[in-house]
Structure 1
């Protein structure tokens, strides 16, 4: 049962909790700092895309009480931002936690940072409980929280589903290389002498004032409204356009390589992070991305189902087919193949995310068709 006051343990001091004193600590303050890793723009993009799209998916059940919780899981944040933060935390650290609470018989979830959670395994290896510490001095810590009262999202597990691992664990070398490459590139462009072109004098050495006058005159004659026009040089000067050094170009290309690695570990098509793939079209990219969302969504849905003891229905249309173009294409193909009729196709599209065929449009068209016969 849930507790009514924040100072009371969710399940109370059970015999399992008493035996926990000699249990095995399997996780304690060992997490990746979201604040530091998220400064990498490619990691930011990957985490933001996945967490935002998964948060758009509406979850529902046959229970009105549970539906109310799923629509308003937090007392201090809206559903989208709360779920997005949980998923982002899961992607960055491998684990995300929310304690199940009650207040006036109304259940809600409270987000807890992984650094504030200790997960313990009982001596017999059959029971998991959680200890939670809070930063606020007036909020008492929670001990021996039963696993049923802790929502625990896991990204990837190698220990039988007890704890998750972040995709970032496979990127330590790549992230360090990308950081070093970018820093070196900035240093080279900031400190090196990198003129865009050279205007060489064919006469005696010029004074500093003469050089500045020649430079200013040349720039004025070949920029602004004169840009792109035919270049006419005085015989006294030779002009050469410089190209970027090959070593600098290779250095910058290494950033693209690490971006591909980041996309790979997050199971994203490289196009999502800005690297255009050579052999994929829009439909292939969308299908690959939908598969990725399905992989993450499965663990989230099953965790909620296990903790709430309900069957969850996930409406993925909001995340995978926002404008309905996907279902429109599928319906058109089914009509051409004779699998469904035109009327059935219209009914499907009217009930979908399609922004071309809506129930309102169908009703108006139907009304016009029956009026002449009345």
Structure 2
């Protein structure tokens, strides 16, 4: 029986190029993913806003680990920890992938991290040994260097599981090509409309006259001379042989400009964040707490790939504290503790609540009150 996958299975190695938005190559097959260019995407204010917000919040999360805390909190000598993890998150959103080389000391232990531009990396899968290799083209004296997968942190934003792209991530930009085109055309239309509104076009009608092209040009030049330069803004004087009309802007254009709002909503949806973060207009039925909760859930989609890859390659459980990014002033924590420590059946005693506030750094100098007279906070009476 003919096996359609025979040639595919006989391949001992597969090479997948991860050059951003250039097509992927797999077994000689061109897999086009060229949708929205990463550099061009950042010129779109809505995409820039959502990527800047998410990348900044991910970079603000604190790592919860003891063994490699120094390396994770100061991974590079060239960038601050915030900018390093901001760049990792931004690359992951723009291209679906981010690559970081693990620098090791003489004992082979991780000692530092180096961010590698995505366009310098290609991946080779050895099907026979089921091993991944990462080849980095540095473009300098180092030339090309091949690393084992254990030495490369490969952060993937979204892995579809398809055979051709099961080893690489996918950017939300891949789903926004049509929406971005709509928004670009809408912006061009807006500029054109504003230009015409400020300097509207006119028609000059000469009743009962059939003019030669040169005569039309003479009338046009005469009118432009009256209405430009030093004469701009002055009254226009015409004799009875000509009638002047201004071309009006179609009021339906305003409806077309609403495509900008539509595109904002689609961009927010692709990045899984509440659209109020882009258009500044919240749902009347959505409270601040609800929007914050939705955003927190969305932010976890970008934190989990980092946590998972670090835990896999470093061999320890690593978590990121999302509250350090979204609850900077600790108001949400204080509100939650207040709810848990008050009411008819509080879940926390006052001493427990104070201890939590002190340990989390909300009130680091707080003196926790002692339990009076051996009171064990039992509300029962004798």
When normalised by structure 1's length, the TM-score is 0.73
Matched-pair contact (CA < 8 Å) for 1:25–1:120: yes
- Aligned position for 2:170: 165
For residues 177-221 of structure 1, the C-alpha deviation after alignment (integer angstroms, 9 at most, x for no partner) is 1011101211221234568xxxxxxxxxxx989996799xxxxxx
- Aligned position for 2:102: 100
Is 2:144 the counterpart of 1:141? yes
User: Match of 1:299, SS?
Assistant: helix
Equivalent of 2:45 in 8, 17, 41? 41
Matched-pair contact (CA < 8 Å) for 2:98–2:156: yes
Tell me the distance in 1 between the aligned counterparts of 2:177 and 2:348.
51
Is 2:77 the counterpart of 1:87? no
Aligned pairs for 1:320-335 within 5 A: 320-335=326-341
Tell me the distance in 1 between the aligned counterparts of 2:311 and 2:57.
20
Is 2:103 the counterpart of 1:113? no
- Aligned position for 2:351: 343
Matched-pair contact (CA < 8 Å) for 1:324–1:352: no
- Aligned position for 1:304: 310
Is 2:281 the counterpart of 1:276? yes
> 1:150 Cα deviation (Å)?
0.5
Aligned pairs for 1:1-374 within 5 A: 23-31=13-21, 33-63=37-67, 66-102=68-104, 107-124=111-128, 126-135=130-139, 137-143=140-146, 145-159=147-161, 162-193=167-198, 246-278=251-283, 279-337=285-343, 338-352=346-360, 354=362, 358-360=363-365, 362-363=366-367
Matched-pair contact (CA < 8 Å) for 1:175–1:258: yes
| Structure 1 pair 264–67 and aligned structure 2 pair: CA distance change class (3 A) | same
Matched-pair contact (CA < 8 Å) for 1:74–1:82: yes
| Structure 1 pair 30–316 and aligned structure 2 pair: CA distance change class (3 A) | closer
> 1:342 Cα deviation (Å)?
2.0
For residues 215-249 of structure 1, the C-alpha deviation after alignment (integer angstroms, 9 at most, x for no partner) is 9xxxxxxxxxxxxxxxxxxxxxxxxxxx9863232
> 1:282 Cα deviation (Å)?
0.3
Give the number of aligned pairs.
301
Following TM superposition, the consecutive aligned residue runs of length 4 or more in structure 1 with deviations greater than 6 angstroms are 207-211
User: Match of 2:83, SS?
Assistant: helix
Matched-pair contact (CA < 8 Å) for 1:260–1:275: no
Matched-pair contact (CA < 8 Å) for 1:90–1:153: yes
When normalised by structure 2's length, the TM-score is 0.72
> 1:273 Cα deviation (Å)?
1.0
Tell me the distance in 2 between the aligned counterparts of 1:353 and 1:26.
46
User: Match of 2:155, SS?
Assistant: strand
**As a proportion of its length, which structure holds more helix?**
1
Tell me the distance in 1 between the aligned counterparts of 2:40 and 2:234.
48
Tell me the distance in 2 between the aligned counterparts of 1:58 and 1:155.
20
Matched-pair contact (CA < 8 Å) for 1:57–1:317: yes
Matched-pair contact (CA < 8 Å) for 1:185–1:251: no
Matched-pair contact (CA < 8 Å) for 1:259–1:273: yes
Instruction: Give the aligned CA root-mean-square deviation in angstroms.
Output: 2.9
> 1:55 Cα deviation (Å)?
0.6
Tell me the distance in 1 between the aligned counterparts of 2:260 and 2:144.
44
> 1:314 Cα deviation (Å)?
2.0
Matched-pair contact (CA < 8 Å) for 1:324–1:353: no
